[in-house]
Amino acid sequence: MKLYFTRHGKTEWNKQHRFQGMHGDSPLLSSSFAQIQALSCYLQDVPFAAVYASPSKRAKQTAQGIVSQWEQSVPIFYDANLKEMGYGMLERKSIDKMQEQYQETLTNMRHRLDLYDPSPFNGETVSAMLERMTKTIIHASHYHDSPVLFVGHGASMTAAIQFFSRKELC
């Protein structure tokens, strides 16, 4: 069975270069809806059994936008395990400003997840995030015989893909 992963459309906070993790949720940019429609067209011939999406508004809108263009009816399941990694006190804050304060930690977040320690800002660990995400991904892969699409978030989806493909978390 094939598993497909996609990130939600670009948001206001992405554009403003702000942290948007498990608890932050800014609106999608208007340009994101055209990209969602293009992705929907690209995927329309895949016989998906289901779509699993984060319950964050940005991921829900992306999942709904993808499925709404398809001729076949595909159920969407919203699962909190697919939320973005929790960034603790960094949520909603400027990435550039926080980079000055947490330079090594944030460099590790982007380039060396194996060394990432979010304790200075009460963030979620990579292992905790992977534990919750893999529960849902493994459940879906065992439950369905046809392809499944997961709609989530950049950091958490990237880490999950690396985990399942047995690549180093870097």
Residue ranges at the known binding site for substrate: 7-14, 58, 84-87
**Radius of gyration of the chain, Cα coordinates, nearest whole angstrom:** 16
Positions annotated as catalytic residues are 8, 84
Residue 134 burial class via C-beta count within 10 angstroms: exposed 0-12, middle 13-18, buried 19 and up: middle
Instruction: Indicate the annotated binding residues.
Output: 7-14, 58, 84-87
Per-residue DSSP letter, 94: B
Beta strands in the chain (DSSP E): 3-7, 50-53, 76-78, 148-152
| Phi then psi dihedrals of residue 152, to 5 deg | -145, -130
Q: Considering only CA atoms, which of 160, 149, 168 is closest in space to residue 1?
A: 149
Beta strands in 54-167 (DSSP E): 76-78, 148-152
- Measured between alpha carbons, how far is 88 from 108 in angstroms, rounded to an integer? 16
- The answer to whether 133 touches 81, Cβ cutoff 8 Å, is yes
